[in-house]
């Protein structure tokens, strides 16, 4: 099988697993607080992640060389997980994905002050069209915005900032620090929340939180294989297939039917994101590895595949 085709198929499978991961979050969110779901999902994902962390060949302490950027990235990842889990719990799947797809657009904006990128007229226009798509999805003034909408937007923004931060750090920090710090921060914050809002979990529901952890790691490993098999420019666009999974799962499991505004806005966001990817494919950009490597939110249950790849290769 040609490399690009294999890479695209592996990416499609990975996105399907990520979407199943999100569906379980939505299912559990109907009966349990989002912070509780995230706590147990992260707790059950820690053992396999810890085994991978033992493969880190570099020596040193757990103190970062760049405390500000590591702390900022960790806070962003924890926030992205909390807000993302909550948004999936209360909003339609297609609507959440439409908003989260704005993350690459926000990365492009943040790259100007943080990475010294130059955004030309074409990329700037694409970002404007994509942000217009977000407004079409949200329809402020016509539809009452809920906390779930704000949570999804905050997840997209903090995910973008985390992606730019890790690019800013480059290889200056140990992989174990980049993965472990967000996990520790998540345990502290979500663990404290259990004292405020906790509902005893049935055995099957607790097992589903473990399945969330398993699916997040499995999807990440498949995405690694996809990028190894095919060119990034052919693999990355497959991540937008999550919208198809969202529509299918929403219709079959939750009786969700995306309206025309959501579909139109999603089309504008996806189109602008694809245009930016294609533009970066043909030019030398420090931003390019950020947008190609990860279009969905990074959380403690689904670490950045590039970091997992470093551990697997013992880089």
pLDDT the model gives residue 284: 45
Task: Quote the tokens at residue 175.
Answer: 């992989």
DSSP 161: H
49 CB-near residues (< 8 Å, 6+ apart): 179, 183, 217, 303
The one-digit pLDDT tens for each residue of the chain (315 residues) are 566 788 888 888 989 999 999 999 999 999 999 999 999 998 888 888 888 777 776 776 778 888 999 999 999 999 999 999 999 999 999 999 989 988 888 888 888 888 877 777 888 888 899 889 888 988 876 778 889 999 999 999 998 898 888 888 877 788 888 888 888 888 888 988 888 888 999 999 999 999 998 998 888 888 888 877 877 667 777 888 888 999 999 999 999 988 888 899 999 988 888 887 776 666 545 455 445 444 556 677 777 777 777 766 655
pLDDT the model gives residue 280: 65
Q: How far apart are CA 242 and CA 223, in angstroms?
A: 14
DSSP secondary structure letters along the chain: --HHHHHHHHHHHHHHHHHHHHHHHHHHHTTS-HHHHHHHHHHHHHHHHHHHHTT------S--SSHHHHHHHHHHHHHHHHHHHHHHHHS-HHHHHHHHTTHHHHHHHHHHHHH-----HHHHHHHHHHHHHHHHHH-BTTB---HHHHHHHHHHHHHHHHHHHHHHHTTSS-HHHHHHHHHHHHHHHHHHHTTTS--PPPHHHHHHHHHHHHHHHHHHHHHHHHHHHS-HHHHGGGGGGHHHHHHHHHHHHS-----HHHHHHHHHHHHHHHHHHHHHHTS--SSHHHHHH--SPPBTTB--HHHHHHHHHT-
Asked if 102 and 211 touch (Cβ cutoff 8 Å), the reply is no
Task: Quote the tokens at residue 132.
Answer: 């217009």
- What is the radius of gyration, based on Cα positions, of the chain? 18
Residue 140's Cβ-count burial label (10 Å; 0-12, 13-18, 19+) is: exposed
Strand, helix or coil at 55? coil
Q: How far apart are CA 4 and CA 121, in angstroms?
A: 30
């Amino acid at each position: 099988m040609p490399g690009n085709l294999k890479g695209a198929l592996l990416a499609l499978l990975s996105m399907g697993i990520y979407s199943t991961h999100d569906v379980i979050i939505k299912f559990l969110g109907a009966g349990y607080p989002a912070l509780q779901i995230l706590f147990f999902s992260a707790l059950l994902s820690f053992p396999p992640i810890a085994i991978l962390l033992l493969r880190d060949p570099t020596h040193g302490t757990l103190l970062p060389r760049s405390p500000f950027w590591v702390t900022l990235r960790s806070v962003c990842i924890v926030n992205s997980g909390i807000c993302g889990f909550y948004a999936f719990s209360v909003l339609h799947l297609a609507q959440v994905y439409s908003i989260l797809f704005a993350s690459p657009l926000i990365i492009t904006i943040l790259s100007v002050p943080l990475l010294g990128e130059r955004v030309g007229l074409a990329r700037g226009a694409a970002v404007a069209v994509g942000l217009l798509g977000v407004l079409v999805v949200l329809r402020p003034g016509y539809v009452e915005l809920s906390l779930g909408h704000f949570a999804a937007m905050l997840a997209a923004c903090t995910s973008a900032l985390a992606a730019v931060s890790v690019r800013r750090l480059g290889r200056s920090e140990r992989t174990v620090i980049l993965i472990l710090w967000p996990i520790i921060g998540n345990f502290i914050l979500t663990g404290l929340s259990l004292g405020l809002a906790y509902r005893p979990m049935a055995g099957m529901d607790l097992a589903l939180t473990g399945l969330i952890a398993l699916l997040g790691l499995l999807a990440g490993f498949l995405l690694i294989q996809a990028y190894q098999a095919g060119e990034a420019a052919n693999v990355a666009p497959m991540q937008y297939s999550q919208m198809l999974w969202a529509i299918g799962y929403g219709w079959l499991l939750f009786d969700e039917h995306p309206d025309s505004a959501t579909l139109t806005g999603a089309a504008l966001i996806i189109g602008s994101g694809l245009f930016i990817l294609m533009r970066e494919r043909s030019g030398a950009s420090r931003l390019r590895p950020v947008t190609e490597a990860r279009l969905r939110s990074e959380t403690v249950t689904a670490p950045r595949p590039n970091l997992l790849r470093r551990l697997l290769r013992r880089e």
